[in-house]
Chain A
Amino acid sequence: MNFELLAQLTITGIVLGSFYALMGMSFGIVYQTSKIFHLANAIPFAAAGFAAVWSAETFHLPMFGAFIVGLVAAVIVGLLILVLGYFPLINRNATLLSLFLVSLGVTVAFPNLLQIVFGTQNKTLQVYGADGTLNRAFETQVYNVGFLTITQLDIVKIIVCWLVVLCVVLFVNKTRFGRSITALRTNPTMAAAVGINSKVVYIVVFAIGSLIAGMGGLFVTTEFVAYPTMALQWTLIGFIAVFFGGIGSLPGTALGGLLLGLLSSWSSVWLGVQFAPVVVFGALFIILLVRPQGLFGKAAA
């Protein structure tokens, strides 16, 4: 083990952890408000990637335009799941388990629909110029600082992820609407008493969650490729960040995500890189065993 490697892995861990935090935000805001185990959060993630690739190829949109299309698609798909899938069951006072099963069904079906429609090939995001000419596949710049290296995309990723974390936390804690979210989460009866429309809150929360999931999908598509089953592992990482960091605490979720990223990166000093997922799942298992409310969560009253 040497210092340089550890330092470099720390940077990698921060990049990874920032992304985990982003995914944690996406699921966290949905889960803490609605208590739905929203596995189908994977769908806006993949939808954003495919919509971006598809729109870039079809309309020769520049990268920014393709991203917008991707995010819009993510929000639309996320809201469709809420309105068509969850609302009918919520109206019926169905159990959380049946909501989860709906989520599961959608999650199983969607990647296969993507495969049927778009084929099985991995989709690379083509970068078109503003004039509609094809530049090339996306490539990022590499910076060297001393013995450390970091790519431009990673820097962008860190900034965007933490900006999103900040925005979500500020939105929930500082805005009028954000307070309705907190109100609904902490005291549903009282929220109804002051006239908060829980459906409206759900719609906004799912829109935000899906938007963030879509951003995640775009990052993966840009750095790597889009493929039908791209989302599930990242969605689960989001879940783990939430439960690891602490339920009901968005900053806790973000920190939990960061910590998981660092853990999985550092673990490769001692273990092979293929052990990283085992480390993440193991960490979750231990946390649930010794501290069920999560690292930064408050114990349930």
Chain B
Amino acid sequence: MDGTSVNSSDGNLLEVNDVTAGYSKRRVITGVSMNVKPGEIVGVLGHNGAGKTTLLKCIFRMLSIESGDIVFDGASITKSSSVKTVASGMSFTPSERPIFRDLTVEQNLELGAHSVRDRQAIKDRMGEVMELFPILGERRTQLAGRFSGGQQRQLSVGMALMVQPKLMMLDEPSLGISPTVVTKTFATIRELAAEKGMSVLIVEQNVKAMTTIADRVYVLRHGEMVLEESGDAARERSEWWHLF
């Protein structure tokens, strides 16, 4: 696959520069800067309400930015929209209700590929996803709402894969699923990233799961970046309490 062909000059697929954003009165993130390199798995850690989801929504252009600048794949997307960011190779999976409960697995996956025009490509990718997550293939005509949390999570990752993103963004993929499934899901993400040369940006509270696969982690606390370090350093770190 050609996911590796990234043309950013300074080697960053995504650059977030000094972004401040929030909801009307409520400024949720202040002066946040970060970046993601091609093929890299980056984790953003932080307590509930630290502004992690807001950061993702800013990057995905679902939320307007008060100040700052976001560059994706060499072009500024500060003034772009979510419809365009999907087309330019980004995917976003929300933490809650990341699937369409009233639709079947197949229909969910097809919607995941909403921005893809090529019917054949959609078919091929659906095959790939079902190979990756066999349970989805087995239950392809069932309503997604009947699935367990872990299966729904798998489906949501599958939906993200349908656009073959350059950057896959996942909001708390460990939420509501059992620890074993967490481990499995994260392992799959690691494999996928390596295989497709895809960059992954994950927002997590689950430090352990994140640090096992992350190349690099950031910690967000009360809307401010308080730490950036390599995945290895993070794995070594014994004390997290003061960062949360």
Contact = CB atoms under 8 A, between A and B. Distances in A.
Contact of B115 (A186, A190, A195): A195
B94 A194 contact: no
Contacts of A182: 100, 102-103
A101 interface: no
B159 interface: yes
B132 interface: no
B44 interface: no
A140 interface: no
A186 B60 CA distance: 21
A190 B92 CA distance: 9
A152 to B, nearest CB: 40
Contacts of A192: 62, 82-83
A193 B102 contact: no
Nearest to B102: A186
Contacts of A35: none
A193 B92 CA distance: 6
Given A192-B82, A194-B159, A196-B114, A183 B94 contact: no
Interface residues of B, number: 25
Interface residues of A, number: 15
Secondary structure dominating the interface of A: helix
Interface in A158-197: 176, 179-180, 182-183, 186-187, 189-190, 192-197
B99 A194 contact: no
Contacts of B184: none
A193 B93 contact: yes
B8 to A, nearest CB: 22
Given A179-B110, A195-B87, A190 B100 contact: yes
The 10 closest A-B CB pairs, nearest first, are A195-B86, A195-B115, A193-B92, A194-B114, A197-B83, A192-B82, A195-B114, A186-B102, A195-B83, A183-B100
18 contacts: A176-B110, A179-B107, A179-B110, A179-B111, A182-B103, A186-B100, A186-B101, A187-B101, A190-B98, A190-B100, A192-B83, A193-B62, A193-B91, A193-B92, A195-B83, A195-B163, A196-B111, A197-B83
Given A182-B102, A193-B62, 19 more contacts: A176-B110, A179-B103, A179-B111, A180-B111, A182-B103, A183-B100, A183-B103, A186-B101, A186-B102, A187-B99, A190-B100, A193-B82, A193-B86, A193-B98, A194-B111, A194-B159, A195-B114, A195-B115, A197-B83
Interface of A: 176, 179-180, 182-183, 186-187, 189-190, 192-197
Interface of B: 60, 62, 82-83, 86-87, 91-94, 97-103, 107, 110-112, 114-115, 159, 163
